[in-house]
Amino acid sequence: MKEKKGSMLKKWFMPYFVIHKRVVIIDLLCASLTTIAELVLPMLVRRITEIAVNNIAELTVRVILEMAALYAFLKGIDMLAGYYMIYVGHTMGVKIEKSMREDMFSHLLRVPLSYYDSTKVGQLMSRITTDMFDVAEFSHHCPEEFFICGLKLIVSFAVLASINLPLTLVSFAMLPLMLFGTLYFRRKMHEVFKARRVIAGDVNARTETSLLGIRVIKSFTQEKHEEKLFKEESTKLSETQKASYRYMARLNSVVRFFDGMMYVVMILMGGMFILKGKITTADYTAYLLYDAMLIAAIKRIVEFIEQFEKGLTGIERFAQVMEVENEKGYSETKQLEKVEGEIEFKDLTFSYGDEKDDVLEHVNIKIKKGENVAVVGPSGSGKTTMCSLISRFYEVSDGEITLDGKNISSLELSSLRNAIGMVEQEVYMFSGTVYENILYGNPCASREDVVEAAKLAGAHEFVMNLPNGYDTFIGERGTMLSGGQKQRISIARVFLKNPPVLILDEATSALDNKSEQIIKKSLETLAKGRTTLTIAHRLSTIKNADRILVLTENGIEEQGSHEELLKLGGIYYRLYNNL
Taking the complex as a whole, the smallest distance from the CB of residue 520 to ligand ADP amounts, in Å, to: 20
From ligand ADP, Mg ion, none, interface partner of 240 (C-beta below 5 to 8 A by class):
none
271 binds, among ligand ADP, Mg ion, none (CB under 5 to 8 A by kind): none
Q: How far is Cα 329 from Cα 473, in angstroms, rounded to an integer?
A: 35
Residue ranges in contact with ligand ADP by CB under 6 A: 117, 352, 359, 379-385
Indicate which of Mg ion, ligand ADP, none lies near residue 191 (CB less than 5 to 8 Å, by partner kind). none
Give the sheet arrangement for strand 372-376, strand by strand. 420-424, 501-505, 531-535, 372-376, 547-552, 555-560
DSSP state of 373: E
Is residue 572 classed as helix, strand or coil in its secondary structure? Answer: helix
- Among 35, 139, 171, 384, which residue interacts with Mg ion (rule: CB under 5 A)? 384
The site partner of 223 among ligand ADP, Mg ion, none (C-beta below 5 to 8 Å per kind) is none
Candidates 218-226, 315-323, 383-391, 414-422: pick the segment binding Mg ion (CB under 5 A): 383-391
Helices and strands, counts by H and E, the chain: 21, 12
* Residue nearer to ligand ADP on the CB measure, 30 or 504: 504
Residue nearest to Mg ion (CB): 384
Q: Could you give the string, one character per residue 211-230, with x where binding to Mg ion holds by CB under 5 A and - elsewhere?
A: --------------------
Q: How far is the CB of 382 from ligand ADP (least distance, A)?
A: 4
Shortest CA distance to 484 belongs to which of 452, 451, 450, 507? 507
Rounded to an integer, what distance in angstroms lies between the CA atom of residue 258 and that of residue 181? 9
Of 130 and 385, CB closest to ligand ADP: 385
CB of 442 to Mg ion, least distance (A): 26
**Which three-class secondary structure state does DSSP give residue 339?**
coil
- DSSP assignment of 102-161: HHHHHHHHHS-HHHHHSS-HHHHHHIIIIIHHHHHHHHHHHHHHHHHHHHHHHHHHHHHH
Residues in 399-458 at the binding interface with Mg ion, rule: CB under 5 A: none
CB of 123 to ligand ADP, least distance (A): 18
Nearer to ligand ADP, 117 or 524 (CB): 117
Tell me if 381 contacts Mg ion by CB under 5 A: no
Q: Position 169: which residue type?
A: L
Neighbours of 109 (CB within 10 A): 8
Instruction: List b or e across 195-213, with b for residues whose CB sees 16 or more CB atoms inside 10 angstroms.
Output: bbbebbbbbbbbeeebeee
Is-contact 203 117, C-beta < 8 A? Answer: no
Q: Which residue, 199 or 386, is less far from Mg ion as judged by CB?
A: 386
> Where do the H-state alpha helices sit in 276-346?
281-322
Site map for Mg ion, 163-202, x if CB under 5 A? ----------------------------------------
Cβ closer to ligand ADP: 30 or 390?
390
Q: Which is nearer to Mg ion, 269 or 510 (CB)?
A: 510
Answer with the entry of ligand ADP, Mg ion, none that 382 interacts with (C-beta below 5 to 8 A by kind). ligand ADP
Dihedral angle over CA of 326, 331, 332, 335, nearest 10: 110
Min dist. Cβ of residue 400 to ligand ADP (A) = 19
Minimum separation from the CB atom of position 379 to ligand ADP (A) = 4
* Contacting positions for Mg ion (CB under 5 A): 384
